[in-house]
Amino acid sequence: MNYRIFPPEELPECTVTLPLSKSMSARALIINALIQRCDTSSLQLAECTDTQAMRNGISLRSGTVDINNSGTAMRFLTAFHAATPGSHITLQGCDRMHHRPIAPLVEALIQCGADIRYLGEPGFPPLEIRGSHLTGGHITVNASISSQFISALMMTAPYMEQGLEITLDGEVASRPYITMTAEMMTKAGANVETTTDTIRIAPSQYTTPIARIESDWSAAAFWYEIEALTSGFITLNGTLHPSIQGDSVISHIFSNLGVDTEFTPQSADLVASPELSPRLQLDLQATPDIVPALVVTCIMLRIPFRFTGLESLHIKECDRIEALCEETLLVGAVITREAPGIISWDGIPRPIQQLPVFHTHDDHRMAMALAPVATYLPGIVICDAEVVSKSYPSFWNDMRLAGFIVQDENDPIPTQFTDNQ
């Protein structure tokens, strides 16, 4: 479906209940599945297609699991089934998934004793996996591609005969997600020791199921973006502070973009501030998922930026660097790709000739980051808007709650906007 979006007639004033963290949900599903006779029926998890892919993949021990475009499910389920004796699974996904690298994880698992075979191009899904008791030991893993390779190994490591010692090679991508994994494992009873470049996990078993999932800071990024562009009155319902999620750094970053945060135990009030940085320069290697929201916010506020540490964005649901350059060009922004993982913008918009029709590139974060552009350009179109179901299925309804008009592309234009079309 394609949605046409118009801004609220007045400043948005709303309370939004954020979805639960899909990153924490995925880890909870793996950890809890490894605990024998574990009843977690009361555990509330993120309701999104990524979580459903994880549920489906964990519930099967034989046959084919199609995880579509869920990179988290592909990586976590690869390690889970490799370490589950009796499993005989084929893991496959969409075409884009079959072009996302998985070799560092597969090679590490094979060193630990896993039986995994590539069914297509070596180094990429689909995979055939025969589960067994893994030996473990010491391995070195390229940590610069995806932190999920490391997290997948970590969560299965307690059940390896020798435990596991992982040496992290290269600049570590999204390190806060590795920290999140370690904290959740420790709460579940595992013995995890971490240093800058080494992770040691003793052989043991999980004893305590994960019982609570935080609200999703990655989803909060788009409401910080909306607040920055509207100066409205937005409350985010959900436990957000303190948080083990790396993306919680959003509250500090957006203080440079006109948004302050007032936390309560169960919510966060976003408060407009006159403080705007004249230029934003950030290393975002630890938090690449917030890049789309930051790029679009800076462009709409005419704030020059230089962002580094973005190497992993090339292997997300789409090549997000390429997608951001292509789509923001529609609002007159010419982003410079200085080098792999480095982009910048001079803050000078070029004239635009027509109302943007944005393509989402089958990427949920692209759709949600581009939607608030309607604040400045009423009537923009977001193509394939249903992609938000990957992480935030209620996003469009929540935008309506904030006063945005979100309608089918072919519906009549609201009368208050007809003079502007």
d(CA 280, CA 304): 6
The residues that bridge with 308 in the sheet, in sequence order, are 283
CA angle 364, 328, 20 (to 5 degrees): 25
Angle, nearest 10°, between helix axes 71-82 and 22-33?
10
Does residue 289 have an active-site annotation?
Answer: yes
pLDDT of residue 96: 93
Residue-range domains of the chain with CATH: 3-19+215-410 (3.65.10.10), 22-201 (3.65.10.10)
pLDDT of residue 149: 97
CA distances (Å), 83 to each of 17, 217, 296, 324, 353, in order?
Answer: 37, 31, 42, 38, 56
d(CA 263, CA 243): 12
Q: Is 6 left (phi over 0), alpha (psi -120 to 50) or beta?
A: beta
Pairing mode of beta strands 198-201, 257-264: unpaired
List the one residue out of 105, 114, 44 whose CA is nearest residue 75: 105
List the one residue out of 350, 383, 381, 23 whose CA is nearest residue 218: 23
Place of tokens 């998985």: 102
pLDDT of residue 351: 95
Q: Which residues contact 91 (CB under 8 A, 6 or more apart)?
A: 57, 65, 67, 74, 77, 78, 81, 125, 126, 127, 129
pLDDT of residue 38: 76
Per-residue pLDDT band for 419 (boundaries 50, 70, 90) equals low
The pLDDT tens digits for 199-256 are: 999 999 999 999 999 999 999 999 999 999 999 999 999 988 999 999 999 999 999 9
CA distances (Å), 254 to each of 230, 257, 271, 275, in order?
Answer: 14, 5, 11, 10
The pLDDT tens digits for 114-160 are: 999 999 999 999 999 999 999 999 999 999 999 999 999 999 999 99
The residues that bridge with 166 in the sheet, in sequence order, are 139, 199
Q: 40 pLDDT exceeds 90? A: no
Average pLDDT in the 349-377 region?
A: 97
Q: Which residues contact 252 (CB under 8 A, 6 or more apart)?
A: none
Q: 340 pLDDT exceeds 80? A: yes
pLDDT of residue 420: 52
d(CA 81, CA 125): 14
Q: Which two tokens stand for residue 347?
A: 């803050």
Mean pLDDT of the chain: 96
The pLDDT tens digits for 41-94 are: 789 999 999 999 999 999 999 999 999 999 999 999 999 999 999 999 999 999
Q: In percent, how much of the chain has pLDDT > 70?
A: 99
d(CA 373, CA 296): 8
Burial 264-298 (b: 16+ CB within 10 A, else e): eeebbebebbeeebeebebebbbbbbbbbbbbbbb
Average pLDDT in the 26-52 region?
A: 90
CB 302 within 8 A of CB 347: yes
Annotated catalytic residue within 50, 247, 289, 363: 289
- DSSP string of 200-222, one letter each residue: EE-S----S------B-HHHHHH
Q: In percent, how much of the chain has pLDDT > 90?
A: 95
Pairing mode of beta strands 62-66, 88-92: parallel
* DSSP classification of residue 283: E
CB 35 within 8 A of CB 206: yes
Rg of the chain over all Cα atoms, to the nearest angstrom: 22
The pLDDT tens digits for 369-396 are: 999 999 999 999 999 999 999 999 999 9
